[in-house]
Chains A and B, each alone.
Chain A
Amino acid sequence: MSLLELENVHSYYGHIHALQGISLRVEEGEIVTLIGANGAGKSTTLRTISGLIKPRHGSVRLKGQDITGLPPHQIVELGVGHVPEGRGIFPRLTVRENLEMGAYTIQDRAEVARRMEFVFGIFPRLKERINQKGGTLSGGEQQMLATARGLMLKPHILLMDEPSMGLAPVLVEAIFEVIKTLNQQEGTTILLVEQNALMALSVAHRGYVLQIGNIVLDDTAENLKKNEMVRAAYLGVK
């Protein structure tokens, strides 16, 4: 049984048919990446998994349990963390408060404190900024905060939507390094959405290629990197 499984999912924005029958699965301990051009439906896939969009057809299953149509806050309680596109930092909450919100569903205060120490271990920079308002952080720091906040929950699976967007190359490297570390040392399962296909495929185990609401390819990251179509369309190789 897969940790996460989407079967023939159709999602709409009004009349716009954004997902046209997506099926994919993520196994425990994997990094799976979803690559595709702007507007392909990557974010919509993540939003459908976390319940922000209710699919009109198809099902989403978490550890075999049907979670299709559950409200987002209940899906979070089942251990699905979502670091949204554009980071979604609460600008007028402090770094500490932002992190506390990430652990909103955890009642045990000592556990929240432990989680906070854990994410400070990964992002020491955030500890220095602990009482600063989220909105005053730099872009890179905000991405760290968004990722750290997603980890506060100790998620079974972390959905990450374009964590490298708008970051300087050296920060992109750093973020991908964190993703790899999390997966290898903490065993966190990650579904990674990226436009930076090269980076994504270099950390992922497997990948899916999305085109206008359809999955057109799925394979191991190694094979995708070698695939002609992927190389031409997403890796900028002629």
Chain B
Amino acid sequence: MRRLLNATVLIEILRPLGQIAVFVAGAGLILSALMLGMAVLLRGSTVDATTMKNYGVDLFTYTLVNLPQVLIDGVTIGFVYAAIALGYTMVYGVLEFINFAHSEIFAIGAFVGVEVLIALDNSGRLDGIPYTMAYFWLFLAVLAAMVAAGATAVAMERIAYRPLRGAPRLVPLISAIGVSFFLQDAIRLIESLTTGQFHRIIPTFGNFDQQISLASLYIVGTKIDLVMQVKSVIVIVSAIVMVVGLNYLVNATKLGKAIRSVAQDRVTANLMGINVNRIIAMTFLIGGTLGGAAGVLFALKFTRIDPFVGFFPGLKAFTAAVLGGIGNITGALLGGLVLGMLETFSGSYLSVFTMGAFGAEYKDILAFAILILVLIFRPSGLLGEQVGQKA
């Protein structure tokens, strides 16, 4: 029995890892092939010539040489989106309700984490510390962010959503938008009263900004150093831990089964002795803590945050969740990775392929174009099942 149990545990951990590998490799390969294919098709065209003039290499070489770095960056941001998307998808799976205030949960996480680090920095605790200590403090900041974000999410459900359960679907949605504005302004108010500023910058410490050299490649005669910032590695590793942990929790624990039962049939779940209100609160808690952690990771990666920091990542993570199939945990992972990569690809290549007509700034539009297309042509998303579905 015990060995059987361990086997299940192992499977529940290995399966999402396998899925991650497949999704990263799959999305990466397809997008790379697409880009290279387009470069080949455009060989000898004006685009090719313009690239030659601007960069001194032909379009194909330019595409190929940049590819590895684009992939690495795409995967990093993709994991950030995936981590946020998990919160949308968990809540949707159980309540069929889109918690638009999840982006502010993310922002609260970012602010609490960054403020903890700023406080540590101001008290001199981050000066010249060994790397192990740096990781310890970062971990502490993430933990604080998770607690704050989780608590906010639970309070939000209790105050703004639970009283509206049973109301028409639009009503809690409007409430969520209200909560979202309220929290944005609450952050703004608190920050401006206590610090006199709207935006905060994460302190520089530890080795997070260092570049790790992954490999040196020679592609068509050009030497390319593949580099990755330490903080990107942290982002990816943390996001993987979150995905695997959540997967395990939902599929293999009693709480997870209760969550899936409530998602599938609330009344019957109640008849099984499950306290439905508590399970729904737990769902918000889990989504909130993941969102809070994602907030700190985002701040670590992009350094600067303001009270509206949640808006774009939140909207994109929501897009990722819809793209993957909202309500589906694996879908959130897939959607996040695909969206992150698509965005990075377009940010890096759009300008070259359109000879400067569309710059990198169009990458944001891409996410929403995808959202609209998915909603029109495949509203159930790529994987299209619910949290209730055993992944």
Contact = CB atoms under 8 A, between A and B. Distances in A.
B213 interface: no
A128 B268 CA distance: 24
B269 interface: yes
Category for how many chain B residues contact A: 20 to 34
A52 B257 contact: no
A101 B274 contact: yes
A104 B271 CA distance: 10
A84 B390 contact: no
A84 B265 CA distance: 12
A154 to B, nearest CB: 12
B257 A76 contact: no
B267 A84 contact: yes
A100 interface: yes
Contact of A84 (B260, B268, B385): B268
Category for how many chain A residues contact B: 20 to 34
B271 A105 contact: no
Given A84-B267, A84-B268, A104 B274 contact: yes
Interface in A153-205: 153
B271 A52 contact: yes
B126 interface: no
B346 to A, nearest CB: 36
Interface stretch (A5-13, A17-25, A91-99, A222-230): A91-99
Contacts of A50: 271
* Prevailing SS type, chain B contact patch: helix
Given A71-B275, A73-B274, A91 B269 contact: no
Interface in B249-300: 254, 257-258, 260-261, 264-265, 267-276
Given A76-B273, A101-B272, A92 B390 contact: yes
Contact of B261 (A52, A71, A93): A93
Contact of A93 (B254, B257, B267, B274): B257
A100 B267 CA distance: 17
A54 interface: no
Contacts of B268: 84, 88, 90
A105 B388 CA distance: 20
B267 A76 contact: no
Interface string A74-113: 0011000010100010111110010011101100000000
Contacts, number: 69
A72 interface: yes
B280 to A, nearest CB: 13
Contacts of A97: 257, 260
B386 interface: yes
A196 B273 CA distance: 29
Nearest to B1: A113
A115 to B, nearest CB: 13
A105 B389 CA distance: 23
B257 A88 contact: no
Contacts of A52: 267, 270-271
Interface of A: 50, 52, 71-73, 76-77, 82, 84, 88, 90-94, 97, 100-102, 104-105, 149, 153
10 contacts: A52-B271, A73-B274, A82-B271, A88-B265, A88-B271, A92-B385, A93-B260, A104-B254, A104-B272, A149-B272
Given A90-B264, A91-B388, A105-B273, 6 more contacts: A72-B271, A90-B260, A93-B264, A97-B260, A101-B274, A105-B272
